[in-house]
Amino acid sequence: MRIRKALLVDPGKNTLYGAFAVTVSFFVFAYSFRLGQGSILMYYAVWLPLILVDYRLTLGRLASSPQLLAFALIACLSYFWSDAPDVTSRAALQYLSHVVCAVIAARVIDARTLSIGAMAGIVVVLVYSILVGSSVYDALDGTYSFVGAFGSKNQLGFYASLGVLLGCYFGLFLTRGRIARLLALGVVLLSAALLVMSHSATSMLATPAAVALVIAIAGLEAFSPTHRKIFFLTGSVLAGAAVLAALNVGAVDMVLGAFGKDTTLTGRTYLWQQGLEAAANTPWLGVGYQAYWVQGFSEAERLWNEFYIASRTGFHFHNTYVEALVELGYVGAAAIILPLLGVLRSCIWRLLNERDWTEPLLQTGLLALLVIRSFFEVDILQPYAIGSFLLYYCWARAKEPTAIRATDQSPATVRLSEPRAI
């Protein structure tokens, strides 16, 4: 039996396969630590064979955008100065292959297919967590939190955040069908319930901010490019002033108090201090990718003990930039900031100048969620993680030539003012 190539690699025509591949990926990202290495092979199996289907489409243009691999290649090179070269080589190659899979996804998956597959994957992930039904006691703040099948409430909260954001985005901007909107609403309600149950302050703060930003920006579509730029600049200045004013009146302490946190962010500020002190010893290139949290290393063992991490695994500095500084120094920190700035630049330009906002609006919401979380979590530095996958998907997708993105209008991508009925 022969399968038409378009059903596998043409954005807008491969919704069935694309949504399935995204669903599998989301489930693997969530539970590979439970399912083992076999689940990682499932992740590779849905993306890498597409190279054989159409090499020019999937990876052929990667040579024109080598910056997509900047952080991954630096991580690989850190083998030569790593304190734990075996750990670094394995993790760096995993991260590199993970980025390649995200780039392939960006070439063949449009915003609508991503949203459908992501919502399906999130529902499967959250329902499985409900069935497992585990809760854990946090010795630092003295509370119990629902973690489901995850090892961390913050990871459960992250998936729930994505469910709320993508469900709102799909229901408001990608469909006008009643059944589809009801299904999207169901995803939002399920995700919101798990978000509250997780007690993840980071996720509960980032989610409404990202959703509000998407809705606010969507309102600018009715205006001309000139007026959009004026409103954007005005809004940016007012937002910056509001943040500064909130900091001066102690709003941060009030918000933390509402979530039962103190100004140390449950020990995070101490972790940041420890990380910055460690980074000062090797400021330019760091200790090597994933070469700090290694069993047997004295500083890692000390921090695991202080934070009651009995497993002595799965811990980090709870700040993306501090973690990058420790592992890869200034060079690595700059390389991980590069995709964030790349997606931001592309989103701003397209939102201010183009008529079709379907994809830049989604990228803006995902970027907002990742950036907010980046100050408290490490979502984009790990292989086989949903945060890094979405970041590189958005960056590679944003770098697609305008003419090629325009062909995705078949009929999977539509203007926000004309949602598609399904």
- Across 73-82, 263-272, 329-338, least confident range: 263-272
Residue 345 pLDDT > 80: yes
Question: Between the CA of residue 413 and those of 67, 121, 132, 405, what are the distances in Å?
Answer: 27, 21, 37, 10
> Is residue 408 pLDDT above 60, yes or no?
no
pTM: 0.93
- Report CA 317 to chain centroid distance, whole Å: 18
Out of 26-35, 141-150, 214-223, 313-322, least confident range: 141-150
**Per-residue pLDDT tens digits for 246-296:** 767 666 666 666 666 666 777 789 999 999 999 999 999 999 999 999 999
| Choice between 259 and 350, residue whose per-residue pLDDT is larger | 350
Residue with structure tokens 């024109």?
Answer: 64
Nearest to 205 by CA among 266, 263, 161: 161
Round to whole Å and give the CA distance between 210 and 362. 10
Report the range of poorest mean pLDDT among 186-195, 197-206, 280-289.
197-206
List the end-to-end C-alpha distance of the chain, in Å, as a whole number: 29
For range 309-317, the mean pLDDT: 89
Q: Report how far residue 409's alpha carbon sits from residue 359's, in angstroms, rounded to the nearest whole number.
A: 11
96 pLDDT above the threshold of 60: yes
**Segment 199-227 mean pLDDT:** 90
Tell me the pLDDT band of 306, cut-offs 50, 70 and 90: very high
Closest CA to 169 of 399, 374, 384, 369: 369
Dist. CA 419–CA 218, nearest whole Å = 13
Question: In this predicted model, which residue has the larger pLDDT, 63 or 173?
Answer: 173
- How would you label 159-183 residue by residue, b for 16+ Cβ within 10 Å and e otherwise? bbbbbbbbbbbbbbbbbeeeebbeb
**Tens-place pLDDT, residues 384-404:** 999 999 999 999 999 876 545
Chain centre distance of CA 420: 26
* Radius of gyration from C-alpha coordinates of the chain: 21
Q: Give the residue from 321, 326, 322, 340 showing the smallest Cα distance to 388.
A: 340
pLDDT surpassing 70 at residue 174: yes
Q: Taking each helix axis from N to C terminus, what angle separates 298-306 and 268-281, rounded to the nearest 10 degrees?
A: 170
Q: Mean pLDDT across the chain, nearest whole number? A: 90
Q: What is the rounded distance in angstroms from the CA atom of residue 375 to the CA atom of residue 323? A: 10
Q: Is the pLDDT of residue 143 over 60?
A: yes
pLDDT of residue 364: 96
**Cα–chain center distance at 166:** 12
pLDDT of res. 224: 85
Q: For 219-230, what is the mean pLDDT?
A: 86
List the chain domain ranges. 6-407
379 DSSP assignment = -
Among the residue ranges 159-163, 260-264, 312-316, 350-354, the one predicted with the least confidence is 260-264
- Find the mean pLDDT for residues 380-384: 97
pLDDT single digits (tens) 106-134: 999 999 999 999 999 999 999 999 999 88
CA distances from 275 to 310, 320, 362 (A): 20, 11, 33
Structure confidence at residue 321 (pLDDT): 98
Residue 406 neighbours by CB under 8 Å, 6+ apart: 356
Give the pLDDT score at 282: 96
